[in-house]
Homo-oligomer: A and B are copies of this chain.
Amino acid sequence: MSQDPLVVFTPSGKRGRFPVGTPVLTAARQLGVDLDSVCGGRGICSRCQITPGYGEFSKHGVTARDGALSQWNAVEQRYRDKRGLTEGRRLGCQATLQSDIVIDVPPESQVHKQVVRKRAEARDIVLDPSTRLFYVEVAEPDMHDPSGDLERLRDALREQWDLHKITADLHILQEMQPVLRKGGWKVTVAVHLGDKENNPRIMQIWPGYYDGTVYGLAVDLGSTTIAAHLCDLQTGEVLASSGLMNPQIRFGEDLMSRVSYSMMNAGGAAEMTRAVRAGMRDLFTQIAEEAGVDLALIVDAVFVCNPVMHHLFLGIDPFELGQAPFALTTNSALRLRGDDLELNIHPSARVYLLPCIAGHVGADAAAVALSEAPDKSDDLVLVVDVGTNAEILLGNKERVLACSSPTGPAFEGAQISSGQRAAPGAIERVEIDPVTKAPRFKVIGSDLWSDDPRFVIEIGATGITGICGSGIIEMVAEMRMHGIVDAPGLIGSPEQTGSDRCFPDGRTYSYLVHDGTADGGPLITITNRDIREIQMAKAALYSGARLLMDKFGVDKVDRVVLAGAFGAHISSKHAMVLGMIPDAPLDKVTSAGNAAGTGARIALLNTAARAEIEATVRAIHKVETAIEPRFQEHFVNASAIPNAVEPFPILNSIVTLPKATFNTGAEGGGRRRRRG
């Protein structure tokens, strides 16, 4: 007697024999092959499309002859005629096995498909959404054996989809009866598959087969901006990305000033909670409009943010975060409902907040850890999320350490005399001529250097308005490289520097970058006070990193990842000249862009990643810089440019920094900045 047909699925390589006439979908399910289906094999949803392979497959030991799959049946033909089917594709639920065959499951037919990411070193996103669609046929009510509609729907989900312990939100109970009858006892339901705190739950119900999808939001709630990605939970695709300024800015630019606002004003915390939630609703309305999506179909949302934003968003007074011992209300991940937070998405949308790492190392740092996965790295990686409070991770597969360091807003152009936010007209790149000591620069909005004859015309009405964060870093680094500022951070006199761009300015000297006053523009200079601000910011950043290196027992790191929007614009060389980051090969200093936002997106699309990052965060060793005696010592050393004691051998092999010092006895060393 001949054997049952052999089927080999690619790319999984799973194989097995099934009786003639077995549908491909059935074979796939029995073998545990990842082949999607919403309609459960009824030829409606077309999600189980497969590509049969014919001919000789020596690798699999299979010879597939024509007729290895059944002829096109009426359902399949009707689907092809009405909806179209790519050449070579079949519906896995209709085509049945006749003889040996190799069957490829294309990525779009896989539930756990991979979502494309841009960077090779970052963690892949494998789709594993919290909420999936299921088409079911429900038994009609029977007076001889009375039961509720919900109970029969539950039975159908158990029998047809092996889903157990299904619950339903009250609004589903309210809608269910007419929907079941309108669909003739055939409905599609969106089921949140449950998590460690909640049983699976019906989130939406549609009559008949619902040919749509449901959505999720990945939200990065920053002190300055709120950014959101709207994703299709069935494909993992980002449909729209949008952002707005955090409306809390009117209560204070930085975190510490918002904490102060709540301390100084009764009801201030509640006011800020209302503001951020209102902003969130505006953003969601905007992003849903942009994508043409119904807000009520957004059934899942993941939020990342720093601890102060976390508390204010949840409606918790951040008082305790403003003072030692910086106690969080909770450092665990939170699983809430949309209406708990007054969101305007699906009322019982599942809301997930990543865990916080410590009082100053928030869910945003956890998201960075999820995206950049230092805990999965073979080499020792330093991940720095540059912001007004830098969050720093150092680690490898063995262990991961974390701390935060109060860099202040200087890197964002604040508290710098000519500083400004990154916006058109802001100087973002700088080069100083080694001979003339004159700067040339680029401003945001133009790719031309300022010494290009077309520059003035191209920048046109915008003009040159100031210097943004990345511009400041390059400027100070260039000044240090060309002998205008010395290692302790003093700007030299025209005599000391050989440049008449240095001019006396009170008790110290300033450096002239650009004089636009003739055209009614600003006079852009770097004052010695600006240098001090940058010194303190970068010293805070470096000493946090250095402290983690001490704790790890190392003197150098294998690579450095700069996270945050700002990190994307920093020149590695200049950052290293400044001594912001430890000495490392330049090609080992990379930017991860908005890694916190990426982490949020991973947690949204891959539910398994949630449990994973919770475990990772629990294992992270937290270091509180405020109580580490060596932090102060590192800070003082790191106030020098690049550093008073650290050798920076790799940097020194690339650039030669002048040794001159301009000490005139004016001003003291770095002051320790307060957190903020």
- CB of B330 within 8 A of CB of A149, answer yes
Give bound CA distance, A173 to B356, whole Å. 14
Q: Is the interface of A mostly helix, strand, loop or mixed?
A: loop
> Provided the pairs A143-B627, A627-B144 are in contact, do residues A327 and B174 lie with their beta carbons within 8 angstroms?
no
> Provided the pairs A148-B356, A315-B170, A358-B146 are in contact, do residues A177 and B627 lie with their beta carbons within 8 angstroms?
no
Instruction: Write the chain B residue with the least CB distance to A269.
Output: B174
- CB of B173 within 8 A of CB of A143, answer no
Q: In the assembled complex, which residues on chain B have CB atoms less than 8 Å from the CB atom of A147?
A: 328, 331
Contact of A330 among B173, B197, B316, B329 (CB under 8 A): B173
A632 at the interface (CB under 8 A from B): no
Give bound CA distance, A317 to B181, whole Å. 14
Instruction: Write the chain B residue with the least CB distance to A327.
Output: B141
- CB of B314 within 8 A of CB of A626, answer no
Counting every copy of the chain, the complex holds: 2
> Provided the pairs A143-B627, A624-B143 are in contact, do residues A328 and B149 lie with their beta carbons within 8 angstroms?
yes
- CB of A359 within 8 A of CB of B317, answer no
A residues 302-322 in Cβ contact with B at 8 Å: 314-317, 319-320
A87 at the interface (CB under 8 A from B): no
Write out, one digit per residue, whether chain A residues 132-158 have a CB within 8 A of any chain B CB (1) or not (0): 000000001111111111110000000
Give bound CA distance, A232 to B173, whole Å. 32
- CB of B626 within 8 A of CB of A331, answer no
**Minimum distance in angstroms from A436 CB to a CB of chain B:** 51
Give bound CA distance, A150 to B340, whole Å. 18
A266 at the interface (CB under 8 A from B): no
Give bound CA distance, A144 to B141, whole Å. 62
A324 at the interface (CB under 8 A from B): yes
Give bound CA distance, A167 to B151, whole Å. 28
> Provided the pairs A177-B316, A199-B197 are in contact, do residues A329 and B148 lie with their beta carbons within 8 angstroms?
yes
A residues 606-644 in Cβ contact with B at 8 Å: 622, 624, 626-627
- CB of A327 within 8 A of CB of B144, answer no
- Most chain B CB within 10 A, of A150, A177, A358, is at A177
- Most chain B CB within 10 A, of A140, A320, A627, is at A320
> Provided the pairs A173-B316, A177-B317, A316-B173 are in contact, do residues A331 and B151 lie with their beta carbons within 8 angstroms?
yes
A101 at the interface (CB under 8 A from B): no
Contact of A176 among B174, B176, B329, B336 (CB under 8 A): B329
Contact of A151 among B332, B622, B627 (CB under 8 A): B332
A residues 158-208 in Cβ contact with B at 8 Å: 167-168, 170, 173-174, 176-178, 197, 199
Instruction: Write the chain B residue with the least CB distance to A147.
Output: B331
A325 at the interface (CB under 8 A from B): yes
- Most chain B CB within 10 A, of A146, A329, A627, is at A146
Q: In the assembled complex, which residues on chain B have CB atoms less than 8 Å from the CB atom of A79?
A: none
Q: In the assembled complex, which residues on chain B have CB atoms less than 8 Å from the CB atom of A209?
A: none
Q: In the assembled complex, which residues on chain B have CB atoms less than 8 Å from the CB atom of A627?
A: 143-144
**Minimum distance in angstroms from A437 CB to a CB of chain B:** 47
Q: How many residues of A contact B (CB 8 A)?
A: 46
- CB of B149 within 8 A of CB of A329, answer yes
- CB of A197 within 8 A of CB of B329, answer no
Contact of A314 among B142, B173, B314, B336 (CB under 8 A): B173
Give bound CA distance, A503 to B626, whole Å. 102
**Minimum distance in angstroms from A308 CB to a CB of chain B:** 13
**Minimum distance in angstroms from A393 CB to a CB of chain B:** 15
A662 at the interface (CB under 8 A from B): no
**Minimum distance in angstroms from A336 CB to a CB of chain B:** 6
> Provided the pairs A174-B315, A319-B177 are in contact, do residues A331 and B146 lie with their beta carbons within 8 angstroms?
yes
Q: In the assembled complex, which residues on chain B have CB atoms less than 8 Å from the CB atom of A317?
A: 174, 177-178
> Provided the pairs A174-B314, A316-B173 are in contact, do residues A143 and B626 lie with their beta carbons within 8 angstroms?
yes
A261 at the interface (CB under 8 A from B): no
Give bound CA distance, A316 to B149, whole Å. 12
A648 at the interface (CB under 8 A from B): no
Write out, one digit per residue, whether chain A residues 372-391 have a CB within 8 A of any chain B CB (1) or not (0): 00000000000000000000
> Provided the pairs A146-B624, A624-B143 are in contact, do residues A170 and B314 lie with their beta carbons within 8 angstroms?
yes
A54 at the interface (CB under 8 A from B): no
**Minimum distance in angstroms from A563 CB to a CB of chain B:** 21
> Provided the pairs A141-B327, A199-B197 are in contact, do residues A316 and B146 lie with their beta carbons within 8 angstroms?
no
Q: In the assembled complex, which residues on chain B have CB atoms less than 8 Å from the CB atom of A327?
A: 141, 146, 148-149, 177
30 of the cross-chain contacts (CB-CB < 8 Å) are A141-B326, A142-B325, A143-B324, A143-B359, A143-B627, A144-B624, A146-B331, A146-B358, A146-B359, A146-B622, A146-B624, A148-B327, A148-B332, A148-B356, A149-B320, A149-B327, A149-B328, A149-B330, A150-B329, A150-B330, A167-B197, A170-B314, A170-B315, A170-B340, A173-B316, A173-B329, A174-B316, A174-B317, A176-B329, A178-B317
In the A-B complex, the 10 residue pairs with the closest CB atoms: A141-B327, A150-B330, A146-B358, A148-B331, A148-B330, A148-B328, A143-B624, A143-B325, A141-B325, A146-B622
Residues of A participating in the B interface, judged by any CB pair closer than 8 Å: 140-151, 167-168, 170, 173-174, 176-178, 197, 199, 314-317, 319-320, 324-332, 336, 340, 356, 358-359, 622, 624, 626-627
Known: A146-B359, A174-B315. 20 other contacts (CB 8 A): A140-B325, A141-B326, A144-B624, A144-B627, A146-B325, A146-B326, A146-B328, A146-B331, A146-B622, A147-B331, A148-B327, A148-B328, A150-B329, A151-B331, A173-B330, A174-B317, A176-B329, A177-B319, A177-B329, A197-B199
